[in-house]
Structure 1
Amino acid sequence: MKWNAATAVLGLVAPTDALLRFGCARLTVQRLDPLVTPGQNPSPHLHQIIGGDSFNVSMDHPNHDLPSLSTCTSCQFTEDFSNYWTAVLYFRARNGTFKRVPQIAQAGMEGTQGGMVVYYMSDALFDTAQRSSVTAFKPGFRMLIGDASYKSRDQSRDFRQLTYTCMENQGSRSPESIGFPKTPCKLAIMANHRFPTCWDGVNLDSPSHREHVAYPETGTFESGGTCPSTHPVKIPQILLETLWDTSAFNKKEDWPADGSQPFVWSNGDSTGFSSHADYVFGWKGDSLQKAMDGHTYVSAPMLKTQSIAQQNKCVAKDMVRENFDGWLKELPGGNAIF
């Protein structure tokens, strides 16, 4: 899948600089993954999904155009019909049963059912100037960060900035860890997914959904490193923040007898090193380009917003029809713990 505007490689696309931050309610929770296992129903493990309601078992480009096929979005900005998804967090009790960990909204977004907070940035989160030039994503663009099979720190070094924050309160943002927090978190475990920021300028996707994007040559996005020659086009960094409400699972007597942490991803990972997230671009027209061109920080007056009540009403149909709540004897899909 390629973009036919070769001018992007030459850096001739209009520069953009801005930071968008907005909340998205839960669209659906089900065992589907149209990026990694398109057409497979059900997919190997459970995901929580936000965005446009045209999310489906298969979402091939150009047949599946999210803005034209979606009738609503669970995100605050009504022009964003993109889909974003991550694995689901479960608590594993001492008796071996599992319970899905609920999600909570961030401060100022109370009332949002499940979901995440989404960022699009041209510079570091704390940089209010947002001076760097970036190129907005093109229709059909998609990518994946992380690997659902990883279970060691060495493997996780393939990716930068996939972290967790053990939150004491809504203001907690540090320290960040690479694996699951090893001690109880008073409020929640925040999962942070930061996507690569360099694009080859040609391919909208690639076999592993990762080859067409890359990290800067040195450091990380926040350090301002330059893009490699193979991926010369700087794109916005997408950051997803998901708050998993662990407050009901903090009793040590409920944790494993050996004192190890009790949380697992829905793919069976008890280490946290398999953290991963998927993205399928679906902004309407050139709305994202205009928003990034707006030189704004968090606010985006050129975009239309909807209420949290409206966000919560947008849901995708259940195509799997399986139980994933309550106390379960095994994870959905029967995934073994590793």
Structure 2
Amino acid sequence: MTKLNAFVAALGLIAPTSALLRFGCARLTVQRLDPLVNPGMIPSTHLHQIIGGNSFNATMDPKTHDLASLSTCTSCQFTEDFSNYWTAVLYFRARNGTFKRVPQRAQAGMEGTQGGMVVYYMSDALFDTAQKSTVTAFKPGFRMLVGDVEYHNREQARNFRQLTFTCMQNEGTRAPEYLHFPTEPCPAGIMANHRFPTCWDGVNLDSPNHRDHVAYPESGTFESGGPCPTTHPVRLPQLLLETVWDTKQFNNKADWPEDGSQPFVWSSGDSTGYSTHADYLFGWQSDSLQKHLDGHTYVSAPTLNTQSISQQNKCTVPDVVNEDFDSWLTELPGSPVMF
């Protein structure tokens, strides 16, 4: 994405003919739970920040757990969206080796949101406002994972397109994007961008590694109109998660490692950034997402119902893992191996 298009997208000024649903979600919970990769494990291997429907729990068996019917509230703006979305949590590692969780901050226009992320569903390429493409909304029971917690170098990270970081100079900064953690202090925070694959095999709602049933375009990207491979012919909306980690209080280089290396680390133990990953469990009510996507509208969502930020903030789930993750810690929750 060019700097101009990225900046315009950030401010919500794309022409109405380009279909894009953008909305904020408050924090549902921060816990060591992962029903996709570590189902039933309490606690899971590392800490996550989770948004969406309040039926979220450690198990969520795809055969019996219907998010839309079992959730009674959602931390997202649109009340039809009971999906769950989650990523690892960012920590600051001080010069003395202790760790402090980095808080998340709301983007402009969403002030007051507690933690959380901004979610995008795109049905048209942003660069071609005349395009009226057709995408198929995710189906009930659909799940996927993007990224790999074991990755630790640039070549491995190339397997996942557009999993990036932005060193925000101000609220409108959306470029350049990096595959690794920024190496200099970021005045307005670090944005983590998680773009999911946009092609589906049309059959499987999940796969053993939660990735094989989806694929990236055969060439280019979703935004450039790249075609889907024949193995995954069904075109999905582009799902994008933006998380702004409020790193301002950690920008004093005197507190950074003595060798001058960047001080941030994922809760999984990764200090490179290459292991960045995100999980998605679809949970939209009935055909509400498909109806919106078919309407080719931007920002306005006439077929969806909106709730206030205060209502979003009230939707939470109880802690089931009793551990301290917010104090200054001598090791990360779960003591993952650092790399």
Distance 2:52 2:317 in 1: 9
For residue 200 of structure 1, what is the amino acid of its counterpart?
A: D
Q: Is the 8 A contact 1:198 1:213 kept in 2?
A: yes
For residue 331 of structure 1, what is the amino acid of its counterpart?
A: L
C-alpha offsets along residues 86-105 of structure 1, whole Å, 9 cap, x if unaligned?
Answer: 00000000000000000000
User: Which residue pairs with 1:42 in the alignment?
Assistant: 43
User: Which residue pairs with 1:112 in the alignment?
Assistant: 113
User: Which residue pairs with 1:253 in the alignment?
Assistant: 254
Look up the SS of the partner of 2:50 in the other structure: strand
Moved over 2 A (4+): 123-130
Q: Quick check: 1:308 aligned with 2:309?
A: yes
Look up the SS of the partner of 2:49 in the other structure: strand
| Unmatched runs of 5 consecutive residues or more in structure 2 | 1-17
Q: Quick check: 1:160 aligned with 2:165?
A: no
What is the CA-CA distance between 1:336 and the residue it aligns to?
2.4
Look up the SS of the partner of 2:313 in the other structure: helix
For residue 85 of structure 1, what is the amino acid of its counterpart?
A: W
Structure 1 residues 126 and 167, CA gap change in structure 2 (3 angstroms): farther
Distance 2:296 2:336 in 1: 45
User: Which residue pairs with 1:190 in the alignment?
Assistant: 191
C-alpha offsets along residues 243-273 of structure 1, whole Å, 9 cap, x if unaligned?
Answer: 0000000001000000000000000000000
Distance 1:130 1:259 in 2: 47
C-alpha offsets along residues 11-39 of structure 1, whole Å, 9 cap, x if unaligned?
Answer: xxxxxx83110000000000000000101
Distance 1:131 1:122 in 2: 8
User: Which residue pairs with 2:103 in the alignment?
Assistant: 102
Q: Structure 2 matches for 1:311-330, cutoff 5 A?
A: 311-330=312-331
Distance 2:93 2:34 in 1: 24
What is the CA-CA distance between 1:123 and the residue it aligns to?
2.4
Distance 2:231 2:139 in 1: 18
Distance 1:98 1:170 in 2: 26
Distance 1:31 1:160 in 2: 27
Percent same amino acid among aligned pairs? 77
User: Which residue pairs with 1:232 in the alignment?
Assistant: 233
Q: Is the 8 A contact 2:191 2:243 kept in 1?
A: yes
Q: Is the 8 A contact 2:200 2:235 kept in 1?
A: yes
For residue 296 of structure 1, what is the amino acid of its counterpart?
A: T
User: Which residue pairs with 2:11 in the alignment?
Assistant: none
Q: Quick check: 1:264 aligned with 2:265?
A: yes
User: Which residue pairs with 1:219 in the alignment?
Assistant: 220
What is the CA-CA distance between 1:125 and the residue it aligns to?
4.0
For residue 109 of structure 2, what is the amino acid of its counterpart?
A: G
Distance 1:285 1:308 in 2: 24
Look up the SS of the partner of 2:292 in the other structure: helix
For residue 280 of structure 1, what is the amino acid of its counterpart?
A: L
| Unmatched runs of 5 consecutive residues or more in structure 1 | 1-16
Q: Quick check: 1:178 aligned with 2:179?
A: yes
For residue 195 of structure 2, what is the amino acid of its counterpart?
A: R
Look up the SS of the partner of 1:104 in the other structure: coil
User: Which residue pairs with 1:138 in the alignment?
Assistant: 139
User: Which residue pairs with 2:54 in the alignment?
Assistant: 53
User: Which residue pairs with 2:87 in the alignment?
Assistant: 86
In terms of mean alpha carbon deviation, does 287-296 or 26-35 score higher? Answer: 287-296
For residue 83 of structure 1, what is the amino acid of its counterpart?
A: N
Distance 1:57 1:211 in 2: 23
C-alpha offsets along residues 106-142 of structure 1, whole Å, 9 cap, x if unaligned?
Answer: 0000000000000000123455555211001100000
Distance 1:116 1:331 in 2: 22
What is the CA-CA distance between 1:220 and the residue it aligns to?
1.4
Structure 1 residues 118 and 127, CA gap change in structure 2 (3 angstroms): farther
What is the CA-CA distance between 1:62 and the residue it aligns to?
2.7
C-alpha offsets along residues 70-99 of structure 1, whole Å, 9 cap, x if unaligned?
Answer: 010000000000000000000000000000
Q: Is the 8 A contact 2:100 2:326 kept in 1?
A: yes
- Please report the TM-score for the alignment, with normalisation by the length of structure 2: 0.93
Distance 2:44 2:227 in 1: 37
Q: Is the 8 A contact 1:189 1:245 kept in 2?
A: yes
Structure 1 residues 20 and 129, CA gap change in structure 2 (3 angstroms): farther
CA RMSD of aligned residues (A): 1.0
Distance 1:40 1:67 in 2: 23
Q: Is the 8 A contact 2:123 2:296 kept in 1?
A: no
What is the CA-CA distance between 1:319 and the residue it aligns to?
1.2
For residue 177 of structure 2, what is the amino acid of its counterpart?
A: E
User: Which residue pairs with 1:14 in the alignment?
Assistant: none
Distance 1:29 1:130 in 2: 39
Q: Is the 8 A contact 2:84 2:280 kept in 1?
A: yes
What is the CA-CA distance between 1:183 and the residue it aligns to?
0.5
- Please report the TM-score for the alignment, with normalisation by the length of structure 1: 0.94
Paired residue total? 322
